[in-house]
Chain A
Amino acid sequence: AQSVAQPEDQVNVAEGNPLTVKCTYSVSGNPYLFWYVQYPNRGLQFLLKYITGDNLVKGSYGFEAEFNKSQTSFHLKKPSALVSDSALYFCAVTPAEGGRRALTFGSGTRLQVQP
């Protein structure tokens, strides 16, 4: 069975500073990895995904993530945080093999960007 760990419940960063939200995963075989963001009283909004190819993935709103197979990590990054980035961030994984579209999510990390 697959699993995702987001070790930080909350990350605080000042506006304009770089941000990192950590994610490590466990899966049999190759992973497909996703990042989603959730704003209050809203569903999940897709940010980016790693399927194959370049380990650095660029996504929406200036976010990017780096896939590191040896460390089984997929950390989310942004060079300069905005107050509007404050939200709940989820990392998710599904095995590349097997055809299941069932995402396994981490527990979420609340990002707080201070002005």
Chain B
Amino acid sequence: KAGVTQTPRYLIKTRGQQVTLSCSPISGHRSVSWYQQTPGQGLQFLFEYFSETQRNKGNFPGRFSGRQFSNSRSEMNVSTLELGDSALYLCASSSGLAGGPGETQYFGPGTRLLVL
């Protein structure tokens, strides 16, 4: 099976712009979670989507949003970019069903966003 794919891999934006990142989960997986990784804050949970619905949300401002499509692909959007949004954004997928929170989340390679 192909793993989790994320596009683009690298992105440079300027302050005030918005950005959209894409994630394709492992085939058959219906849960997609997003995490932000920065040197200062480490790995932090952004949100989780399952069956096109946001199921859980982390402690991030409303500038961070996401959505999931019927084929389980997910996008996250960051509006009005700030310098502090520079980070590696990681997407993870799991089947989202019976295993619950004990299910293994499989991570993609990430999108590295640089905000200038």
A residues contacting B by CB (< 8 A) are: 32, 34, 36, 41-46, 49, 51, 90, 92, 94-96, 98-108
Contacts and interface: CB of A to CB of B under 8 A. Distances in A.
Interface of B: 4, 6, 31, 33, 35, 42-45, 48, 55-56, 58, 90, 92, 94, 96, 100-110
A43 B94 contact: no
B102 A49 contact: yes
Contacts, number: 68
Contacts of B108: 43
Given A43-B4, A44-B90, A108-B42, A103 B110 contact: no
Contacts of A46: 104-107
A75 to B, nearest CB: 19
Contacts of A102: 33, 45, 48, 56, 58
Contact of A101 (B44, B105, B109, B110): B105
B107 A44 contact: yes
Given A101-B94, A102-B56, 19 more contacts: A41-B109, A42-B109, A42-B110, A43-B6, A43-B110, A44-B107, A46-B105, A46-B107, A49-B102, A49-B104, A95-B101, A96-B102, A100-B56, A101-B56, A101-B96, A101-B101, A101-B105, A102-B48, A103-B35
Contacts of B103: 101
A23 to B, nearest CB: 14
Q: Which 4 A-B pairs give the minimum distances between C-beta atoms?
A: A105-B43, A43-B107, A44-B107, A102-B45
Contacts of B104: 34, 46, 49
B45 A103 contact: yes
